[in-house]
Structure 1
Amino acid sequence: MSPSNPPIPSHDEPDWARVSQIAVQGSDSPLVPTSLAPACLRVYPAYARLDIPGAVNECLVRREVHQRLLLAARALPEGLSLVVLDGWRPWRVQQYLFDTLYESLRSHDPSLDDAQLLARTREFVSLPSRDPQAPSPHLTGGAVDVTICDADGLLLEMGTQFDEATPASHTDHFERHPPASDTSQSEARDNRRLLYRVMSEAGFTNLPSEWWHFDFGDQLWAWYRGEPRALYGPAEMDSIETLWKRSLG
């Protein structure tokens, strides 16, 4: 084990009821496009490519999040790039993802009751909420979904697909279930360690059930950092109407 690529520590799942009670400071930090970043940061808006209703063909994040993504990207070994799959997410997309996973789980296992279905769904998709005091993480512009690609643009092996709703997607899965030999699972473990390390060193926290999900400035970040308040509440993408209204005073 290389000291520069240490094991991923295990963390408990968030207590969402308590997460939603963390005070939101609020910030006027704007949403900025990641597609204009240097080549070390690549952008692949996954939900727009899947034609999910309401998805934006850009990955928008808060300005400070953008700066920290660049820190993480520049810490990767030469030839590797950080890939942003999703950032700020419209409420409509959050609702769609929640509803489709909920129904998929219900169809897959009819024995699950409503409470179990809700818990299983929230493992991978947070409740859709535009509440200024308890917004869904991706609605704040502080949550990002990321992975790593090589110089040819091929995604590194991570053991599961992005958004694969299985226990193997838990960030520390290969730490708790060590690969038996030098296999693709060993490669996935090492790649997850690399992603977790560069993102953590750039100031992000990770959602334990998703190796791809990281936060900065939202309530989930505040929960795992022990911060007294979150920096970001809900954000909205500028429209031409809002731009005109601001310019006209």
Structure 2
Amino acid sequence: MNFLSLALTTQPEPDWSRVQALPIHECDEPLVPLGLVPPPIRVYPTYFHLGIGGALSECYVRRSVLARLQKAARLLPAGIELVVLDGWRPLAVQQYLFNTLTQALRRHFPGEDEAGLLARARHFVAPASAEAASPSPHLTGGAVDVTLCDTEGGMLDMGTEFDDIGPWSATAAFEAVARPGPKEAEIIENRRLLYSVMIRAGFSNLPSEWWHFDYGNQNWAWFTQQPHALYGPARLPGLAGRWERQVALLGG
């Protein structure tokens, strides 16, 4: 069995307070767009297509994240391509996702206190934060949501939809199926393939989400046992800000 088909193991959820306490040594890598990147990487900004306010029509990641996505894509077998569903995420979109999920949980678990609701939501959506010491993972440009497709653009079966909040979204969930039929076996192989190429390319995976991978942020530092993260909160450079910096360099 080659590395692309190694069995996935169940990983515990991290201690989020300790994750957020990890130091960040910001390396100032810029955000770069993925829209011009050639196959075998495809870009489908899901939240934009869902019509979520403030969502971008382009996916952005840090420069080193792009290099690792390209490495992961090159490791895929012929006929399979990597699909990026989301990367850097504006704070307003992160807040919308967190609010929407917690509101749904509050309606379904009316007796749950706020701490319990936060713990449930935290499995799938981080609280919105642009704090320098503890930013939301997607706000750093180091988190990516990905899946696989064939050369015709048909998504491979991963067992759940992207952003599904059920127990089957856990990366290793289907490994527990005692007697997998043809459908389950296909899902298992697809998840193993995605996980294997992303980990080999230098990413870490969020155990509760088969689609979520990190590089350079606090999640990545925790799961790969690094002493510090490389990425804090990032912002897209606007034209006005760029001109301000250039004018300042003109002197006089």
Please give the alpha-carbon distance, in whole angstroms, between the structure 1 residues aligned to 2:233 and 2:4.
36
Aligned to 1:12: 12
CA contact (8 A) 2:24 2:228 kept: yes
- Measured in 2, the distance between the counterparts of 1:43 and 1:13 equals 28
1:106-136 deviation digits (Å, cap 9, x = unpaired): 1223232222211110000011111101101
* Percent of aligned positions that are identical: 53
CA distance in 1, matches of 2:3, 2:91: 41
**What is the total number of aligned residue pairs between the two structures?**
248
Other-structure match for 1:150:
150
**What is the TM-score normalised by the length of structure 1?**
0.97
Structure 1 residue 80: deviation in Å? Answer: 0.8
Match of 1:202 in 2: 201
| Letter of the 1:220 counterpart | N
Secondary structure (helix, strand or coil) at the match of 2:84 reads strand
Gaps of 5+ in 1: none
Give the distance between the partners of 1:71 and 1:2, measured in 2 at CA: 17
TM-score by length of 2: 0.95
Q: Is the 8 A contact 2:41 2:70 kept in 1?
A: yes
CA distance, structure 1, for counterparts of residue 74 and residue 49 of structure 2: 26
Cα deviations by residue, 1:160-200 (Å, 9 ceiling, x for unpaired):
0000011110001011x225232322211110000000000
Compared with structure 1, are the counterparts of its residues 90 and 189 closer, same or farther at alpha carbon in structure 2 (3 Å cutoff)? Answer: same
DSSP 3-state at the match of 2:77:
coil
Q: Is the 8 A contact 2:4 2:197 kept in 1?
A: no
Does structure 2 retain, via aligned residues, the 8 Å contact 1:34–1:59? yes
Against the structure 1 CA distance between its residues 215 and 3, is the aligned structure 2 distance closer, same or farther, given a 3 Å change threshold?
closer
The letter of the residue matching 1:217 is G
Is contact 1:179-1:185 (8 Å) kept?
no
Letter in 2 for 1:63: R
Does the aligned pair in 1 maintain the 2:3–2:196 contact within 8 Å?
no
Report the counterpart of residue 215 of structure 1 in structure 2.
Answer: 214
Verify: 1:47 aligned to 2:44, yes or no: no
Q: 1:243 to 1:98 in 2, by over 3 A?
A: same
Is residue 173 of structure 2 the alignment partner of residue 173 of structure 1?
yes
The 4+ residue runs of structure 1 with deviation greater than 6 A are: none
Structure-2 separation of matches of 1:153 and 1:12 = 33
CA distance, structure 1, for counterparts of residue 4 and residue 15 of structure 2 = 31
Deviation at residue 53 of structure 1 after TM alignment:
1.1
Q: Which runs of 5+ in 2 are unaligned?
A: none
Q: How large is the RMSD of aligned CA atoms in angstroms?
A: 1.2
Partner in structure 2 of residue 87 of structure 1: 87
